[in-house]
Amino acid sequence: MTNPIISLKKVWKIYDMGDSKIYANRNISLDINKNEIVFIVGKSGSGKSTLLNMIGSLDYPSRGKIFLDGINISSLTESDLAQIRGSKIGFVFQSFNLINSMTALENVMLPMTFQEIPVEEKIKRAKKLLNKVDLNHRLNNLPTELSGGERQRVAVARSLANNPEVIIADEPTGNLDTKTGKMIMNLFNEINKEGKTIIIVTHDLDLVKRTSEHKIYKIVDGEIN
């Protein structure tokens, strides 16, 4: 039996608004195995991004437990959580989240800053990753000098900087045209074939059609259907 790399056990996320409570996620249990491509699909406001933040250890559940590679991350301190997050999870966001004052190379090197990696190794690894996403000719360009597709490819390269086991993508093609979005999905497919687990949150069902093997979780009103 395969041990899941991520496991959620009866997870709730509740926001206390004084006289009322908002139930963003309700009683969610799911397992994600190594080397899977998993889609979390739902409309805006369905709770999918809240769920992704907890899976990515960016937020704690109000109730329940979340395990990452067998470790109960819902009970860790913030400093321990940050360390695990930095080494085991890579993030790709709809808005790219690149630092405009840094070059493409520097943006990819950034996650390695907190992992005690020598500068020479950071540069070597960042160049290799940018070459992987066909941006070896854009090393010294700022994000403002890149197209949307190029910026997202830099973001994908950055997500791989610390060789994480899991890549989490929140609406990764939301700001891209159809052709460029297809290119990004092809890149995720290639990364998955190299052994990475890919978790994608989206409201776009067309993305799902661009992967041959995948698992889908549909979320409605904070619950997995």
Quick one: pLDDT at residue 212?
66
Closest residue by Cα to residue 190 from 140, 137, 134: 134
Quick one: pLDDT at residue 141?
97
Instruction: Set out the domains of the chain in order of their start, with CATH numbers.
Output: 34-59+76-224 (3.40.50.300)
Quick one: pLDDT at residue 1?
52
Quick one: pLDDT at residue 222?
94
Q: Which alpha helices (H) appear in the chain, and where do they start and end?
A: 48-55, 78-88, 104-109, 119-132, 148-159, 178-193, 205-208
Quick one: pLDDT at residue 176?
86
Residue 4 CA to residue 100 CA, distance in Å, equals 37
- pLDDT (tens digit, 0 to 9) for every residue of the chain, 225 residues total? 567 999 999 999 999 988 899 999 999 999 999 999 999 998 888 999 899 999 998 999 999 999 999 999 988 998 888 888 888 999 998 889 999 999 999 999 999 987 888 999 999 999 999 999 999 999 999 999 999 999 999 999 999 999 999 999 999 988 888 888 888 888 999 999 999 999 999 887 777 776 667 899 999 999 997
Tokens in use for 177? Answer: 């045209």
pTM of the full structure: 0.91
Quick one: pLDDT at residue 2?
67
Quick one: pLDDT at residue 113?
87
Residue 95 CA to residue 52 CA, distance in Å, equals 16
